[in-house]
Amino acid sequence: MSLPEVKLSDPVALRGYAHPLRMALVGLLRRQGPMTATRAAEQLGKSVPNCSFHLRQLAKYGLAERVPGADARERPWRATAAVTTWDDSTDDPALRAATDELNAAVLATYTGRAKDFLARRADEPARWRAVTGFSDASLYVTADELAELTRRIDALVAEYDERITDPSTRPADVRRVSLIQLAVTTARPTPAQDSSDD
């Protein structure tokens, strides 16, 4: 199963999405479904005018849209897709600067989630503490091999996509987990460093 996605390719939209509240609003709409700016503000602890403004900005970038409400006064919003993607391989300087800005905002969000998790980890049941946490691995791979490894990881994660779109498929003891994937190269070593790495 492939989740519906929106791909950002305009520097203005990329920079527009690179805002903590906008990313939080999109995430909230994806997890909880359509809601008004008032409800979103309650959920996120923000002001209604602030959420309304940022939801309108998200609509300009194709990330949120209005949907019919229960009555004429209610004006809910929904996310336009389950996933947001962008191209990190561009050689266009303006586009690369915008994607770098968005990637930095996403990394800050991930770091915040990790810190929140560490602050409450001691309160988690032992069975959850045993399967959560941080790890890393050093690999020596080519770009093609890393692309294939990423594809395989994505395929494994996609096996759980139906639980995102159809809550009835979730087991009773399910929890939402953030599985954060970072694939980063190390600095290019000097020949002397490279030979001492064996």
Q: What is the DSSP string of 159-189?
A: TTTHHHH-GGGS-TT-----------PPPPP
Q: Does domain 5-131 have CATH number 1.10.10.10?
A: yes
Query: Is residue 109 predicted with pLDDT exceeding 50?
Result: yes
pLDDT confidence of residue 191: 66
* Residue 66 DSSP SS3: strand
Q: pLDDT-based confidence at 1, cuts 50/70/90?
A: low
How does pLDDT run across 120-142, given as a tens digit for each residue?
999 999 999 999 999 999 999 99
Contact partners, residue 70, CB within 8 Å, separation at least 6: none
Identify the burial level of 177 via C-beta atoms within 10 angstroms of its C-beta, where 0-12 means exposed, 13-18 middle and 19 or more buried.
exposed
DSSP 8-class letter at 71: S
Query: Is residue 196 predicted with pLDDT exceeding 60?
Result: no
Residues 78-84 have a mean pLDDT of 94
Q: Where are the domains of the chain?
A: 5-131
pLDDT confidence of residue 198: 47
Distance between CA atoms of residues 79 and 69, nearest Å:
15
